[in-house]
Structure 1
């Protein structure tokens, strides 16, 4: 990278900053290192792995000023922090969806619908909204606001707006169930079992709106299930935690809210049978079914998955009404899920 590039940039649509768009800023930062891939990441090549630590790559801060950024964002360079003015006024938005016609496999598919793709490590977003505005799941299928594929990713005071599959916390599972189900940027990349931290965020959607295989810690977040006029309106999570990975999703001091009728949404279901999702001191609204969790008709998940709660509160928090394969944690067991343990990995990472 050009060593003369400054470490901080301002992005403003009115021309008062260094760049008018986030796309323009990222293209400038990434052009020397990723000359072809920086602007087009429908299918990243298997090698090199763009999520490498970057060696001596210097951290860069991008100040993203208020605006509706109708651009498709691809982040391949590690060490970038993007700080918006306010999540209500600083929005990255797109409208691609899975059922859109495509020549190669007949449709766009889930993983080419992202409004923003992160395929790098050590990325931080603050005060930004990620949006996919294409429509509800039954009408358009899957539609990602964010495809997050990296390690040590932080999102603070951000909003994630969408419907089906709003937030994908990569990696993909090892194998597809349906032919061409994984077509997209991460299909050929090595699976990186990243760690993500979501703090004071708002996330919304209908079907499986938080899904994937990452270790992700959600702290003081609101998880809003949207009404779509179906008997089951929402599944909040659909983890695909890899076998042997100690942690999947952990949600601490979060609030499960929604505009769905009583008992018409689920806290989660297993995309793959070793899914792990743990709730600590969370508020469970009345829209959640009394049984809380769904097994997605996967009998093996009863033995292999981990769905657990500790001191849930709210109208749908009664653990006596949960199925037998859902675990009620003791205080000693809950201590295993503190942030410092969940995210530390081999490098001791502990984001503030």
Structure 2
């Protein structure tokens, strides 16, 4: 192939990727078969200049990438776009009780397959997985960065699948699929889940928020579908990992897997006076407002109006 033909092929490839991703420009392409700029996702992340002010778009071709990934705090405004959500898979298999090089337990935080420290991170069309199985706490994604967005992504695991770690971190999940067993969405961040499917495996608790007492909003689920393969009443909507946990479900469709009580106090009656758990106009067999624990809330129309994105996120409006 001549140089002119080669450059034309590259130009057409960039144009095609731009159309697929909806971006004007893709900066790096990751392909396990060697047809991109890098073979691994971490190589592409490392290539992003520290403290770059412009968005860096990394396009990831279909494949299973078994890597323990870290997006450093110096890598801001990085966006990962997968070729296909079901075929672009980022995975690893660490878990809480697995030993590190010193023979110590990795711990829950140490188990994550992907760490997001950088602000304004985005991801689309990607599956994030912890493949270690039902072995206790095993995190798929650990997010500390602020103004983070996931769209059309899947989060696969069992206990502690998604760790919204960052205090004062704002996170937005749209059209995503999140599965797990015990406390599979947990942490201290302010996070909104919109039009997502929350899949409950076996039995447990969907959320375990650890919202700080000075934070106005914790978890907000809007127009989500709560499904699963557990038995009737096998799941609670949430329990407070920390006393001031805040979780609200708005206009969500709930399967019969949801326990009539809805919420659990984690064995501490004192949590009932500090945690804030509420619902608004949910539907489905799992929504039984008359059976909910007395210390939870059903929002009025006026109260529900406070759950607009810009108010939840203190002025930040994610891309729709």
* CA apart distance, 1:349: 3.4
Matched, 1:72 2:68: yes
Answering whether residue 295 of structure 2 is matched by residue 321 of structure 1, we say no
Say how many residue pairs are matched: 294
CA distance in 2, matches of 1:74, 1:104: 21
Partner of 2:10: none
Aligned match of 1:29: 48
Instruction: Answer yes or no: is the 8 Å Cα contact 1:7–1:59 preserved in 2.
Output: no
CA separation of 1:194 and 1:203: change in aligned 2, threshold 3 A: same
- Which sits farther off after the overlay, 101-110 or 141-150? 101-110
Q: Which residue of 2 aligns with 1:187?
A: none
Partner in structure 1 of residue 32 of structure 2: 13
Conserved? CA contact 1:96–1:114, under 8 Å = yes
Q: Secondary structure at the match of 2:178?
A: strand
Tell me, which stretches of 5 or more residues in structure 1 are unaligned? 1-5, 34-53, 172-191, 228-232
Residue 18 (structure 2) aligns with:
none
Q: Distance in 2 between matches of 1:92 and 1:239?
A: 25
Match of 1:226 among 201, 208, 211: 201
Corresponding residue for residue 106 of structure 2? 108
Q: Any gaps of 5 or more consecutive residues in structure 2?
A: 1-24
Structure 1 residue 351: Cα displacement = 3.0
Q: Aligned partners of 1:154, 1:274: CA distance in 2, in Å? A: 25
Corresponding residue number in structure 2 for 1:236 = 206
CA displacement, residues 214-260 of structure 1 (integer Å, 9 cap, x when unaligned):
00000000111111xxxxx1211000000020000000000111000
Q: Please give the alpha-carbon distance, in whole angstroms, between the structure 1 residues aligned to 2:181 and 2:285.
A: 20
> 2:179 pairs with 204, 219, 224, which one?
204
2 CA distance for matches of 1:60 and 1:29?
7
Q: Per-residue CA shift, 1:183-209, capped at 9, x if unaligned?
A: xxxxxxxxx411000000000000100
Give the TM-score normalised by the residue count of structure 2.
0.89
TM-align CA RMSD: 1.5
2:237 corresponds in structure 1 to 267
Q: How does 1:1-352 map to 2 (within 5 A)?
A: 8-29=27-48, 33=50, 54=51, 57-76=53-72, 77-102=75-100, 104=102, 106-136=104-134, 140-171=135-166, 192-227=167-202, 233-343=203-313, 345=314, 348-352=316-320
Q: 2:298 and 2:84 mapped to 1: Cα distance?
A: 38
| Counterpart contact for 1:197–1:351, Cα < 8 Å | no
> Aligned-pair distance for 1:104?
4.8
Contact 2:172 2:318 in 1 (8 A): no
With the length of structure 1 as denominator, give the TM-score of the two structures. 0.81
Greater than 6 Å deviation, 4+ residue runs: none
Task: Please give the alpha-carbon distance, in whole angstroms, between the structure 2 residues aligned to 1:95 and 1:234.
Answer: 22
Cα distance in 1, alignment partners of residues 41 and 129 from structure 2: 15
**Conservation of the 8 A alpha-carbon contact between 1:152 and 1:195:** yes
Structure number with larger C-alpha Rg: 2
1:13: Cα distance to partner?
1.2
